Structure 1
Amino acid sequence: MITTARSGTNTLKALKYLYGPGRRNEHTDPHLVASWDGLAPDPGRDWEATLAQLRDALDLHVVRYGRPVAKHVYHRMVRADPGDRNLSDEEWGQVARRVVAAAGIVPDGDPEGCRWVAVHHGDNHIHILATTVRADLTQARLRGDQYRTEAELTRIESELGLKDWSGTRTREYRAGIPKRAKSPELRKAERLGQGETGRERLRTGVRRALAGAADEGEFLARLTAQGIAFEVRRLPSGDAKGYTFALPTGDPGPPVWFSGSQLAADLTLPKIHERFAAGLDQPAPNRPGDQGRPAAVRYRASTTADRVTRSFDDEPQAGQVAAVVSGTIETLDALALTSPVLSRKEINQAARALEYAAVARTRTARSDLRTMRSAARELLYAGPTGGRGEEGTAAATILSSLILLALVIAKWHAAQGHRHQADAARTAADHLRTAYGRHAGRPIALLDTRGRQLPEPVRERQTATVRQVLPADQAVRVLAEDDWAALAATLAEAEAAGHDPAVLLTHAAGRRELASADSPAAVLTWRIRRDARLPVPAPTITPEDHRTAAALSRSTAARPAQPTPQPGMSRGPSLPAAPVPGPLATTSHRPVHRP
């Protein structure tokens, strides 16, 4: 169940809405299911009863009070989940009585409580309408009513066998998630034909301005470049108190302003300054030689994501996870801004979904935040990518790393019992999978073709390497995958380039979280190609490929058995820290797959 409340000054107007057709004709068969004494007139079922009579009964104590009461009307909606069974009028009546008691309208055992009614509309929800002056002519104490009501609804759900939404009712969850748009904002967006409300678009714009920004000056300059208005509110002492933001509007009248806290808990001035205080690993806008090389930056960012993912092995504390989530959102925003159209929307949706996996009310770990924000900054300053060839392969590599990072975030939340945050992180991973498939399909298909054309002795040697390096259950899974041929081709290519496939595979598998991947073989393929600086797969099998494969095949009989590899063993070049892959892959008919 979900519940929201609002206040007003006109009892009759509120009753007209409850007994009327609704704004979209959603009100069917409105009638009372409960009231303060069970005897209130019901204009929905009693043809002689009128709305004015019901208004006069509800307002009795307000009139007796003798003085104006600000916003004396209390209106609370309680709605069951669409998947729940339909509750009877009797059950809704019990729900209403427990809700008004929890809210403070009529505390349990208090004969002097306020007057109230509960109206059922046919849909699986009720509206509770009350006036806030009690029979003893004092005003009801409603402070904290939302938390008390939600706690009571959690108990009601358990007793009635309804869907448990308790995860959304904790203070931590409510403090961490983005602030939801209100009904007038939703109606305005619908009227203007906009897919998002102004609040949502403004929140995304502020986050994009914040992604990788080194300091407040750069952040504010980026807001200006997007056309976002801002003000820094100050205390009488002159110290900064907070931010307010507004989008330019096409409607008549002034723009609508939102404080940072009205957008999201981590967009307040103290939280934004906390990011700047964490610093950046690379304060310069870009490294020498990176201008026009977004692929190299994407490979480095994927290495950063792998390193952060590995940190979850040590059961991180909430502050560390908060830093990772915050930094990952910045990385995704930077990636969306610099990605081609075919994947930009999905990456942006992943960032928006991950906002609901935030960890609230904790201080973030500066080192992890600094690492991820630095990756976001590099992505932005390296410039946009066309998404083809080397850049497309680099995009697939970083997306595969970010998918696994989203999944470990989901696992951490699930272990803490944060069901909704875990679901949000999984949703982010799903969006990233879609974006990944749009970049990875062609190069994986080319590698698959090459792998299937490898001579049998070469395939057997790579199979033996996998069985030596990986745990038995993981090796069985990898060898049974559709993407195994692509991994075999990559291992053979690395071997021909002078690397030890066993060492490369050990290094790639040691980065953890293969168990969460849909295709561990694909993840290993991207990691090995990145670490060994292998070129982008060519669109066809060239004569040189055949000559290389034949040479490898002839050398099989002469090669002695390899010992089980250990980390650090290598007979080829050492593993590079900053790979720069090679040229373009162009065609494929392989279906999009998931890493």
Structure 2
Amino acid sequence: MITRVHRRGSRVGGLLRYLWGPGKAEEHANPHLVAAWDGAGSLADLEPNVTARGKRDIRALTALLEQPVRAGYRPPNKFVWHASMRLAPEDRHRTISDSTWAGMAVQMLTEVGVATTAADPGLRWIAMRHADDHVHIVATLVREDGRTNWMRNDYPRCVKATYHVARRYNLHRRIPPADRTAHRRPHPVEVSKARRTGRAQTPRDELRRRVRRAVAAAGSEEEFFTLLREAGVLVRLRRSSTNAQQITGYAVALPGARTAGGQPVYFGGGRLAPDMTLPKLRLRWGTPPPQPAAPSVGRSERVEAMRQAAKVATAAADDIRRAARTEPGRVQATAVAAADLLTSLAYAMEGDRRGPLHRAPEVFDRAARDLYGRVRRPTGRGQEMRAMSRLVALMGRISGDDDAMAALALVTDLARLADTVEQLRTAQQRLHQAEAARAAADALRLVAGGRQPAVTLPLTAVPASEPTVGGGRRAGRGR
């Protein structure tokens, strides 16, 4: 089930006339009320009567809904709040009665703050049904006592309340509330421009992947900026207005992505992902352990590096299971470091040719990210994981059977670690992240099981959790 919040309006009568009308394609069948505000009286008395011409007379219901608005103190211009609750396709085979729809609507509206008891002079609202799979809710945003309920942040509140309704009524499709761990989606203008210029991904998506790779391989901001420039990324540093020697932020651009005037299109780190700002990256790096300046790289060294990383990944999964309840900050730092190791491994095995292994870090990055872009201070286990991430990055591309087998063993261990993160996020009720961890584990097992080759053609599909140029029209919020 999902609730869509529509644009607010100023004409109650026009909306009611549409809802009780035939619809745009004669799709409205048997429109009738299923619930109304506490104290409204009988639904039969509220139901619009049928006139001699066969149309509904909605004047009485319109007057009742508008009454608090007319008597209110400085009511808003757009006081009509409209939402719809709709079943998912897999739930539409169920026969839901009017009383069940009324219960679901009342529960959702009570949690959001629209429905109140008669003792609390709240908003006037109705819930009407003209199809088997959805109901419409209409409310006026002035309370009985004359105060305005501005319904701020109504959409995320409705999503959260609808999720609770779906759980209570045992519906199959349950959309968890937003946790703000997703990547920043490209604007539709970016998607259209990328399509016109023949790009497989938008510059924002491509930059985020290159920056993530540099973050995983770097241990300090100097090394980070060096790796970005070596990857062909234009870097612009932002310096303090009081101390020119102090760097306070950065922005990146692709050389080929320019405006109509020929200027590069720069994106700040925070515009790529909520945890990619320079202050958060500094906190993420912390004080790195000493690293070899120029390690000797050979096949035996790659094998040993992969084996060391596999041991650390196994120990990290054990740490997450042990400390999930007692030390959540330590567990969070370990999960973020695991995302770095997975990123470095994907590029070691597939390079810039984006194969199926690249899907895993792209979705696991969300599973590992903390809520609201927060970054935890590094821990000993997290720093050990980051050291392995840098070591794998320094080892270069996998080139033989021995190091490929060791790398596949590491892939298997990382799949188990992703399973552990999925269990952690499920226990924390962070279900979007649990789903991302599950997708990462599935992608890793596809590669480790040999059902997918480690390298494919350069142009591959981007996972559904991230927008693409081919199907990346950004979904509206229903506002």
Residue 177 of structure 1 is matched in structure 2 by 181
Residue 407 of structure 2 is matched in structure 1 by 395
Match of 2:332 among 322, 329, 332: 322
Name the larger-Rg structure: 1
Residue 391 of structure 2 is matched in structure 1 by 378
User: Which of 1 and 2 has higher RCO (CA within 8 Å, sep 6+)?
Assistant: 2
Match of 1:302 among 294, 307, 310: 310
Residue 101 of structure 2 is matched in structure 1 by 92
- Give the gaps of 5 or more residues in structure 1: 443-595
Q: Secondary structure at 1:266's aligned position in 2?
A: coil
* Distance in 1 between residues matched to 2:8 and 2:150, nearest whole Å: 16
On the 8 A contact 1:322/1:364 being kept in 2, the answer is: no
Give, in angstroms, the shift of residue 277 of structure 1: 1.6
* Distance in 1 between residues matched to 2:110 and 2:187, nearest whole Å: 26
Residue 140 of structure 1 is matched in structure 2 by 149
* Distance in 2 between residues matched to 1:54 and 1:252, nearest whole Å: 54
* Distance in 1 between residues matched to 2:112 and 2:317, nearest whole Å: 44
Residue 170 of structure 2 is matched in structure 1 by 161
* Distance in 2 between residues matched to 1:119 and 1:220, nearest whole Å: 58
Give, in angstroms, the shift of residue 410 of structure 1: 3.5
On the 8 A contact 1:321/1:409 being kept in 2, the answer is: no
Q: Secondary structure at 2:281's aligned position in 1?
A: helix
1:435-483 Cα distance to aligned partner (Å, 9 max, x none): 12339999xxxxxxxxxxxxxxxxxxxxxxxxxxxxxxxxxxxxxxxxx
Q: Secondary structure at 2:295's aligned position in 1?
A: coil
Letter in 1 for 2:349: S
On the 8 A contact 1:395/1:439 being kept in 2, the answer is: no
C-alpha change, 1:126 and 1:288, in structure 2 (3 Å) is farther
1:215 and 2:224 are equivalent in the alignment: no
Give, in angstroms, the shift of residue 150 of structure 1: 5.6
Residue 267 of structure 1 is matched in structure 2 by 276
1:340 and 2:339 are equivalent in the alignment: no
C-alpha change, 1:89 and 1:337, in structure 2 (3 Å) is farther
* Distance in 1 between residues matched to 2:341 and 2:179, nearest whole Å: 22
C-alpha change, 1:345 and 1:390, in structure 2 (3 Å) is same
C-alpha change, 1:280 and 1:132, in structure 2 (3 Å) is farther
* Distance in 1 between residues matched to 2:85 and 2:451, nearest whole Å: 45
Give, in angstroms, the shift of residue 422 of structure 1: 4.5
Matches within 5 A, 1:188-207: 203-207=208-212
Residue 538 of structure 1 is matched in structure 2 by none
On the 8 A contact 2:13/2:58 being kept in 1, the answer is: no
Letter in 2 for 1:426: R
* Distance in 2 between residues matched to 1:129 and 1:406, nearest whole Å: 44
* Distance in 2 between residues matched to 1:190 and 1:47, nearest whole Å: 52
* Distance in 2 between residues matched to 1:146 and 1:189, nearest whole Å: 29
Give, in angstroms, the shift of residue 12 of structure 1: 8.1
1:322-375 Cα distance to aligned partner (Å, 9 max, x none): 122211211222222332379943222212332343354673442222222222
* Distance in 1 between residues matched to 2:126 and 2:188, nearest whole Å: 25
Letter in 2 for 1:301: A
On the 8 A contact 1:65/1:133 being kept in 2, the answer is: yes
Letter in 2 for 1:138: R
TM-score normalised by length of structure 1: 0.55
* Distance in 2 between residues matched to 1:191 and 1:50, nearest whole Å: 50
Letter in 1 for 2:212: R
TM-score normalised by length of structure 2: 0.66
Letter in 2 for 1:402: L
On the 8 A contact 1:342/1:438 being kept in 2, the answer is: no
On the 8 A contact 2:73/2:147 being kept in 1, the answer is: no
Match of 2:110 among 89, 98, 101: 101
C-alpha change, 1:158 and 1:440, in structure 2 (3 Å) is closer
* Distance in 2 between residues matched to 1:60 and 1:146, nearest whole Å: 26
* Distance in 2 between residues matched to 1:401 and 1:304, nearest whole Å: 9
1:119-159 Cα distance to aligned partner (Å, 9 max, x none): 65747444544442334432105356567656654553354
Give, in angstroms, the shift of residue 234 of structure 1: 7.2
Give, in angstroms, the shift of residue 274 of structure 1: 1.1
Residue 410 of structure 1 is matched in structure 2 by 422
On the 8 A contact 2:306/2:406 being kept in 1, the answer is: yes
On the 8 A contact 1:5/1:76 being kept in 2, the answer is: yes
On the 8 A contact 2:32/2:130 being kept in 1, the answer is: no
Q: CA RMSD in A?
A: 5.4
Residue 357 of structure 1 is matched in structure 2 by 367
Count, aligned residues:
430
Give, in angstroms, the shift of residue 431 of structure 1: 0.7
* Distance in 1 between residues matched to 2:48 and 2:192, nearest whole Å: 36
C-alpha change, 1:357 and 1:261, in structure 2 (3 Å) is same
C-alpha change, 1:379 and 1:96, in structure 2 (3 Å) is same
* Distance in 2 between residues matched to 1:250 and 1:14, nearest whole Å: 46
Matches within 5 A, 1:429-448: 429-438=441-450
Task: Tell me which moved more, 336-345 or 313-322.
Answer: 336-345
C-alpha change, 1:289 and 1:200, in structure 2 (3 Å) is closer
On the 8 A contact 1:353/1:425 being kept in 2, the answer is: yes
On the 8 A contact 1:158/1:164 being kept in 2, the answer is: no
On the 8 A contact 1:406/1:429 being kept in 2, the answer is: yes
* Distance in 1 between residues matched to 2:318 and 2:89, nearest whole Å: 39
On the 8 A contact 1:118/1:127 being kept in 2, the answer is: yes
Give, in angstroms, the shift of residue 211 of structure 1: 1.8
On the 8 A contact 1:280/1:373 being kept in 2, the answer is: no
Give, in angstroms, the shift of residue 432 of structure 1: 0.6
On the 8 A contact 2:68/2:142 being kept in 1, the answer is: yes
Letter in 1 for 2:96: L
Q: Secondary structure at 1:142's aligned position in 2?
A: coil
Q: Secondary structure at 1:210's aligned position in 2?
A: helix
* Distance in 2 between residues matched to 1:97 and 1:272, nearest whole Å: 45
Letter in 2 for 1:213: A
1:48 and 2:55 are equivalent in the alignment: yes
Identity %: 28
* Distance in 1 between residues matched to 2:172 and 2:163, nearest whole Å: 9
Give, in angstroms, the shift of residue 48 of structure 1: 2.7
Give, in angstroms, the shift of residue 116 of structure 1: 3.9
Q: Secondary structure at 2:147's aligned position in 1?
A: coil
1:471-516 Cα distance to aligned partner (Å, 9 max, x none): xxxxxxxxxxxxxxxxxxxxxxxxxxxxxxxxxxxxxxxxxxxxxx
